[in-house]
């Protein structure tokens, strides 16, 4: 089984690894600079002594100089037949527990004689060893401080997340309180806003589910009451065949009404299943054209006209096609239902700052702005219907990341405008080649 990912653990590992690497690189560079500085000083001292001896042209005279004795140098004049003249050499020699730095410096080129100056640098080696030990101890302490700091910082960073988790864990569908975003750090404000929007959707979902159950029970109870009352009246006394037939017709009409309600409730279940379908990339404009073709003949059969106007020519989006189709179909069905004969309905689309804007404009009776048409079993006008169409359309729009609205026209013509906004962050416009 794969280990669970932990942001805090990953943060600790990365911070400790980065800090250790930085400490190691800095310490190595510091030790290298100190070491090179000390060795460079030793080399320059030997070269300076060699240059002074060469300027006197006498080893004996220079060896008697008190400065050389203070330096503790061992100066010799040697001859090398095979060594190129005019070049100096510096080498480090290890003898037992002592370390020496030796300089071979040209003295007389024609005689192939060289100065061999040797100095004991064992104390320097010991000093460098102490320095590197001190750096190691400081690094160990610093590394420990970094680990403690990383642990404290990680706790501080996940503290808002823990606070959010505790608040959310104490909530249920009956007790949902919005998170106070102003109490969160600035970096967590977008997360708090997102959670509050999600909780708002949950509240609406719970509210509409309750209304759906209550409404379904109420709507089913009405035709059942009609059937029961009609049958009771019919059974009071003996009736004619025509009266029995009439009672059966009333019962059948009531059964048809219940069948419509049950069918719409089943559509809710189908829609929830469609929300789980894998989104596919489709041309939204092409889907709108198909819907316009399907409803053009229906509009003509009812003595109405359907106009279509789409911009742009191509708009690609990744979504569930069935849900998009359900929204547009509901808009067109409602528009044609409430539009009188001889009037027209318009299906159009246009680019919006936030994405693609789709509208269905009718010339019907308009709506009552005080009524929540998206609630289940809410009906407008005197037309037949169960009142679940817009409820399903809103749920489908939320599933594909869109926003729908229904409002009265403001251009001086009586009618309604139903709109769907597909957010650009969930859609991918593709330019035509």
| 64 Cβ contact partners less than 8 Å away, ≥ 6 residues apart | none
H-run or E-run covering 398: helix 389-399
pTM for the whole structure = 0.48
Give pLDDT tens digits for 77-133: 788 777 776 778 888 888 888 888 888 888 776 777 888 888 888 888 888 888 888
Percent of the chain with pLDDT over 70: 77
Question: Do the domain assignments include residue 86?
Answer: yes
Per-residue tokens: 141: 């302490």
In a domain, 201, yes or no: no
d(CA 324, CA 413): 28
Task: Give residue 430's pLDDT band: very low, low, confident or very high (50, 70, 90).
Answer: very low
Q: Do 334 and 271 share a domain, yes or no? A: no
Same domain, 300 and 236: no
Are 233 and 112 contained in the same domain?
no
| CATH number of the domain residue 399 falls in | 3.30.565.10
More confident residue, 254 or 295: 295
With a cut of 60, say whether residue 203 has pLDDT above it: yes
Tell me how far apart the alpha carbons of residues 350 and 94 are, in angstroms, rounded to a whole number: 86
Residues 355 and 261 in one domain: no
Q: What is the CATH number of the domain that holds 130?
A: 3.30.450
SS3 384: coil
Q: What is the mean pLDDT of residues 304-315?
A: 89
Confidence of residue 229 (pLDDT cuts 50, 70, 90): confident
Q: How far is CA 379 from CA 154, 259, 417, in A?
A: 54, 18, 17
Are residues 79 and 113 both part of a single domain?
A: yes
For the chain, the first-to-last Cα distance in angstroms comes to 48
Same domain, 44 and 110: yes
Q: Flag whether 176 is in a domain.
A: no
- Confirm if 393 and 331 have CB atoms less than 8 A apart: yes
Q: What is the pLDDT of residue 23?
A: 84
For residue 90, which of 34, 50, 124 has the smallest C-alpha distance? 50
CATH number of the domain residue 254 falls in? 1.10.287
**75, part of any domain:** yes
Sheet holding 113-120, edge to edge: 74-79, 113-120, 98-108, 89-95
pLDDT of 61 strictly over 60: no
Looking at residue 17, its pLDDT comes to 84
Q: Which domain holds residue 17?
A: 7-144
pLDDT at 141 exceeding the cut of 80: yes
What total number of domains does the chain contain? 3
Q: Does the pLDDT value for residue 231 go beyond 80? A: no
Q: Are residues 59 and 123 in the same domain?
A: yes
Residue 104 placed within a domain: yes
User: Is 367 contained in some domain?
Assistant: yes
Q: What are 154's two structure tokens?
A: 């990680």
Q: What is the pLDDT of residue 89?
A: 80
In a domain? residue 118? yes
Would residue 35 count as lying in a domain?
A: yes
| Predicted local confidence at residue 429, as pLDDT | 42
378-427 confidence digits (pLDDT tens): 666 555 555 667 777 887 888 788 888 888 888 888 889 989 988 765 54
Tens-place pLDDT, residues 173-193: 566 677 777 767 777 777 777
The yes-or-no verdict on residue 275 having pLDDT over 60 is no
Position 360 confidence tier, pLDDT thresholds 50, 70, 90? very high
């Amino acid at each position: 089984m794969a280990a669970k990912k932990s942001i805090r653990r990953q943060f600790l590992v990365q911070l400790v690894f980065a800090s250790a690497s930085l400490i190691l690189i800095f310490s190595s560079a510091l030790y290298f600079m100190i070491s090179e500085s000390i060795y460079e000083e030793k080399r320059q001292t030997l070269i300076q002594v060699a240059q002074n001896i060469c300027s006197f042209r006498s080893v004996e005279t220079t060896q008697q100089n008190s400065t050389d004795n203070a330096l503790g140098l061992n100066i010799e004049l040697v001859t090398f037949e095979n060594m190129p003249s005019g070049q100096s050499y510096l080498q480090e020699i290890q003898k037992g527990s002592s370390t020496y730095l030796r300089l071979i410096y040209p003295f007389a080129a024609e005689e192939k004689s060289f100065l061999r100056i040797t100095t004991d640098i064992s104390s320097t080696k010991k000093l460098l060893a102490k320095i590197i030990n001190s750096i190691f101890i400081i690094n160990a302490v610093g590394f420990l401080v970094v680990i403690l700091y990383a642990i404290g910082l990680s706790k501080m960073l996940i503290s808002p997340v823990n606070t959010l988790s505790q608040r959310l864990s104490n909530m249920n569908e009956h007790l949902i309180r919005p998170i106070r975003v102003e109490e969160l750090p600035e970096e967590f404000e977008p997360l708090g806003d997102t959670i509050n929007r999600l909780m708002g959707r949950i509240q609406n979902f719970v509210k509409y589910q309750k209304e759906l159950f209550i409404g379904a029970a109420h709507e089913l109870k009405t035709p059942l009451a009609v059937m029961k009352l009609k049958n009771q009246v019919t059974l009071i006394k003996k009736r004619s065949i025509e009266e029995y037939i009439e009672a059966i017709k009333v019962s059948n009409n009531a059964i048809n009404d219940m069948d419509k309600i049950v069918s719409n409730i089943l559509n809710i279940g189908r829609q929830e299943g469609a929300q789980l379908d894998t989104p596919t990339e489709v041309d939204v404009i092409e889907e709108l054209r198909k819907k316009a073709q399907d409803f053009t003949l229906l509009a003509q059969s009812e003595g109405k006209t359907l106009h279509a106007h789409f911009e742009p020519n191509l708009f690609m989006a990744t979504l569930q096609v069935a849900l998009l189709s359900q929204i547009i179909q509901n808009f067109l069905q409602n528009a044609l239902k409430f539009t009188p004969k001889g009037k027209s309905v318009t299906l159009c689309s246009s680019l919006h700052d936030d994405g693609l804007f789709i509208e269905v404009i009718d010339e019907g009776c308009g709506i009552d702005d005080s009524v929540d048409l998206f609630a289940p079993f809410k009906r407008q006008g005197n037309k037949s219907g169960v009142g679940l169409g817009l409820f399903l359309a809103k749920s489908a729009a939320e599933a594909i990341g869109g926003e729908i609205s229904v409002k009265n026209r403001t251009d001086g013509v009586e009618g309604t405008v139903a709109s769907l906004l597909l957010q650009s962050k969930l859609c991918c416009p593709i330019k035509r080649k």
